[in-house]
Amino acid sequence: MLSLRSDDAEIFYDVQGDGPAVVLLHPFPSHHEFWMPAVPALQSRYRLILPDLRGHGESEIGKGPAFMAKHAADVARVMDAAGVGKAAFIVCSIGGYIVFEFLRRYRGRASALALCNTRPQPDTAEARANRLKNAEVVLEQGTEPFLQSMIPKLLGATTLSSRPDLVEGALRMMRKMSPEDISLVLRGMAERPDSVPDLKRINLPTLILMGDEDTLTPEADGELMRQSIPNSRLKIIPKAGHYAPWERPEAVAPLLRQFLDFVPLI
């Protein structure tokens, strides 16, 4: 793992493969290893930049809530450190929230988007209140009750019933986060802006992937993005939840490779 200083936090990242640059942003509360099942299908032709987002994995949280602007600046600095001026982005969940902010601030540095299991809307009042409550509770009770409560939300019913190895692997990644990490990342997500008005201005090749068992970002969220982002395409991954690339890499990775192979990345 490589690292750099981004304002008040040390950010770690991995680099795999060689070729046109692709930045992969993992979901909360995992880390860069979330993408490892998909790496073999991509690294033979692409240079993959895999950060641990602020507060995840090895990366520090810094001071105060992990707002999307902080994450976006971290990503830009990782690209700088890796010598990458422009890249395609493959993102999942919070990775999508970050890339929408990244596009507002660093539009010229993105060449294509693959949006997995994410949504452009801000939290509803109820969802925001729930995040902020969890941000307090995790400091009082520790991480394990929170992580156990997240597993049935993040993984699809098929994975939960038939792939205990993937469940345990997801928990292993999640357990890298401290109570403070989780609390401040939750607070940052609760304050994220509405990205729906920005969708129509995204003029990049865009692939949208959603899991058919995802209860956090259902197919309707994918359809909203497909209708709003010009010339985007939506694919539904069967038997997959919110962690579709982790749960079904054999379905997701070929779609990502096919997408990257047929879009201009310079």
Q: One-letter amino acid identity for 225?
A: M
Class of domain 2-261: alpha beta
DSSP H/E element including 188: helix 179-190
Map out the domains of the chain as residue ranges: 2-261
User: Quick check: 92 and 118 in contact, CB under 8 A?
Assistant: yes
Tokens of 49: 């930049």
pLDDT(265) > 80: no
The 10s digit of each residue's pLDDT in 49-86 is 999 999 999 999 999 999 999 999 999 999 999 999 99
2-6 vs 9-16, strand pairing mode: antiparallel
Residue with tokens 């047929």: 262
- The answer to whether 88 and 21 have CB atoms below 8 angstroms apart is yes
User: What pLDDT was estimated at residue 266?
Assistant: 58
CA distance 152 to 260: 31
Model pLDDT for residues 20-58, shown as the tens digit of each residue: 999 999 999 999 999 999 999 999 999 999 999 999 999
Q: What is the pTM of this model?
A: 0.97
Instruction: Report the SS3 class of residue 140.
Output: helix
Q: State the Cα–Cα distance between residues 98 and 206, nearest whole angstrom.
A: 16
> Mapping DSSP to helix (H, G, I), strand (E, B) and coil, where does residue 193 land?
coil
